[in-house]
Amino acid sequence: MSDAYPMKDFIDLQGASGAAYRFRLWPEGGDHQPIAGNYACVRAEPDGYEVISVGETLDLSTLREALPRKVREATTHVYTRLNVARTTRCAEHEDLVARRASRRTAASAA
């Protein structure tokens, strides 16, 4: 992971429903609470960032080690969102995934 391009402490990702979800930067080398939540793996770019992957987990503290190698290698920053309630965590994840899927479909149709 890299700091080639500075990133904000918070990012807002929009779901397919139009809802915005705020994620907090998890600094490289920093500890994370062993709590459930959602995450966004992003790659910093000169004009912003690209979302590489979104997900949800029961333990954010073990996330970095659990990411697939391909995602780890493409990711420069990890953002997290605490969500202990399983139904909320899963619903937000599905909303974010649906948004990413609709954007990929639109891009491939163009």
pLDDT confidence bin for 102, thresholds 50/70/90: confident
Q: What is the pTM (predicted TM-score) of this model? A: 0.87
56-100 pLDDT, tens per residue? Answer: 999 999 999 999 999 999 999 999 999 889 999 999 999 999 998
* Cα 107–Cα 95–Cα 23 angle in degrees, nearest 5: 95
Residue 51: which H helix or E strand, with range?
strand 48-57
- In the sheet that holds 77-82, the strands lie side by side as 10-14, 20-26, 77-82, 37-45, 48-57
- The domains located in the chain, with CATH, are 10-105 (3.40.1440)
Please tell me the predicted confidence (pLDDT) of residue 11: 96
Question: What is the pLDDT at residue 61?
Answer: 95
Provide the pLDDT for residue 3: 57
The mean pLDDT value of the chain amounts to 89
Instruction: Kindly state the tokens that stand for 85.
Output: 């309630």
Nearest residue to 99 via CA among 51, 45, 65: 51
Share of the chain above pLDDT 70, in %: 89
Q: In the 8-state DSSP scheme, what is residue 12? A: E
Q: What is the pLDDT of residue 108?
A: 46
